[in-house]
Amino acid sequence: MPITIRIATPADASILAGVRRTWSDEQGSHNDANFESRFATWLAAEAAHRVFWLAELDGDAVGMVNLLVFEQMPWPGQVQGRWGYVGNMFVDRGLRDRGIGRLLLDAAVAYARDHQLLRIVLHPSARSVPFYERAGFAPATSLLLLEL
């Protein structure tokens, strides 16, 4: 099974929306006739600071992940720092536990390293914690959170 991982382009908006809809359908059917349009509008607004990767099997999208790049405010005399937030990791249910998620995550981590990001953070589901721990992620002890 030759899986390919590639950075998504603006032309992939409908493919990304389709993967997101598949994910939603796994959680229970959601009748939302305007979803693809809302997704395309959101994606266009996010494109300047978010990178998406698609996992494809025989040309069909079977997974995705994205990295939101946060640019810190400049500080006199210091290099401006950036960090990433990994989100929306998804692999089709029938293809999980075959290394596809790791390929997606590795692509996002490589991008972060290549672009000198200072750190990557994420909010894992309970099921995904061991997956991220195997990839080297650890609990964040220096962040504070205010639930609203």
Query: What mean pLDDT is predicted for residues 98-106?
Result: 97
Q: What is the pLDDT of residues 21-45, one digit of tens each?
A: 888 877 776 777 888 899 999 999 9
Query: What is the per-residue pLDDT for 1?
Result: 60
Q: What is the pTM (predicted TM-score) of this model?
A: 0.90
pLDDT of residue 23: 82
Q: Is residue 148 part of a domain?
A: no
pLDDT bucket at 58, cuts 50 / 70 / 90: very high
pLDDT top residue among 72 and 54 = 54
CA atoms within 13 A on the CB side of 48: 3
Written in H, E and C, the secondary structure of 65-119 is: EEEEEEECCCCCCCCCCEEEEEEEEEECHHHCCCCHHHHHHHHHHHHHHHCCCCC
Q: Report if residue 141 sits inside a domain.
A: no
Q: Which domain holds residue 82?
A: 3-134
Domain-embedded: residue 146: no
Please state the rounded mean pLDDT for residues 78-88.
91
pLDDT at 37: 92
Tell me the CATH number at 108. Answer: 3.40.630.30
Of 147, 57, 67, 76, which Cα lies nearest the Cα of 112?
67
**pLDDT tier at 98 (50, 70, 90 boundaries)?**
very high
Task: Count how many domains the chain has.
Answer: 1
Residue 111 CA to residue 102 CA, distance in Å, equals: 14
Residue 144 within a domain: no
**pLDDT of 133 strictly over 90:** yes
Is residue 82 domain-resident?
yes
